């Protein structure tokens, strides 16, 4: 366990802060997950909508991938189970704070025994932030489009419509 924790500790201050933010967001998402869905679904965004498949520049892609990496890395070390739904909720909040729109997917599939399984993933532009590697095995049941908060950078345009 100590070696695993060193993975998180021996990074730049910026990455440590990002890991701390991811840890806090994963904890909040875990608590939210245990509340009735009707109480928190509105925070996911506009139902049955998707954000645009925006193509980001290299700097923006790097920022989104750092959020993705932080959430997925820290999820391995939480004291609670941080599966796909928790990761997607956490990453969604982190991206919104940075001004990036995202689409939250809730999907289902039948396993070999015929039982229903669920999966969640998050996409921002053309980047699958969390859970995207399994998306081909599931059929989306509902999507939620969430616009990011206004970005501070004036040279970057953010999609304004949900389409």
Distance CA 77, CA 81 (A): 9
H helices of 98-159, in order, are none
pLDDT value of position 42: 87
Q: How confident is the model at residue 162 (pLDDT cuts 50, 70, 90)?
A: very low
In a domain, 163, yes or no: no
Residue 113 sits in which domain range?
A: 2-146
Q: By mean pLDDT, which of 6-10, 64-68, 70-74, 94-98 is the weakest?
A: 6-10
In a domain, 157, yes or no: no
In a domain, 13, yes or no: yes
In 3-state terms, the chain is what percent helix, strand and coil (to 5)?
45, 20, 35
Q: How confident is the model at residue 67 (pLDDT cuts 50, 70, 90)?
A: very high
Please state, rounded to an integer, the average pLDDT across all residues of the chain: 86
Centroid of chain to Cα 12? 22
Distance CA 122, CA 112 (A): 25
Distance CA 28, CA 89 (A): 9
In a domain, 156, yes or no: no
In a domain, 159, yes or no: no
Q: Is the pLDDT of residue 112 over 80?
A: yes
In a domain, 37, yes or no: yes
Distance CA 122, CA 107 (A): 11
Residue-level length of the chain: 163
The beta-strand segments (E) located in the chain are 46-47, 102-110, 116-124, 127-130, 139-146
Q: Is the pLDDT of residue 148 over 80?
A: no
In a domain, 92, yes or no: yes
pLDDT value of position 158: 37
pLDDT average, residue stretch 31-60 = 91
Q: State pTM to two decimals.
A: 0.83
What is the number of structural domains in the chain?
1
Q: How confident is the model at residue 9 (pLDDT cuts 50, 70, 90)?
A: low
Task: Considering only residues 3 and 73, tell me which one the structure prediction assigns the higher pLDDT.
Answer: 73
In a domain, 51, yes or no: yes
91 contacts 130 by C-beta, under 8 angstroms: yes
77 contacts 8 by C-beta, under 8 angstroms: yes
Angle between helices 84-97 and 13-33 (to 10 degrees): 120
């Amino acid at each position: 366990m100590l070696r695993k924790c060193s993975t998180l500790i021996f990074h730049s201050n910026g990455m440590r802060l990002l890991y701390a933010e991811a840890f806090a967001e994963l904890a909040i998402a875990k608590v939210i997950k245990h509340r009735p869905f009707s109480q928190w679904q509105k925070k996911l965004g506009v139902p049955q909508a998707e954000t645009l498949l925006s193509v980001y520049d290299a700097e923006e892609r790097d920022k989104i991938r750092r959020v993705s990496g932080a959430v997925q890395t820290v999820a391995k070390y939480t004291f609670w189970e941080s599966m796909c739904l928790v990761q997607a909720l956490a990453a969604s909040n982190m991206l919104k704070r940075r001004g990036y729109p995202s689409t939250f997917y809730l999907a289902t599939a039948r396993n070999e025994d015929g039982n229903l399984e669920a999966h969640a993933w998050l996409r921002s532009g053309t980047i699958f932030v969390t859970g995207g590697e399994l998306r081909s095995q599931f059929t989306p049941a509902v999507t939620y489009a969430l616009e990011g908060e206004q970005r501070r950078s004036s040279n970057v345009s953010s999609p304004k419509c949900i389409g």
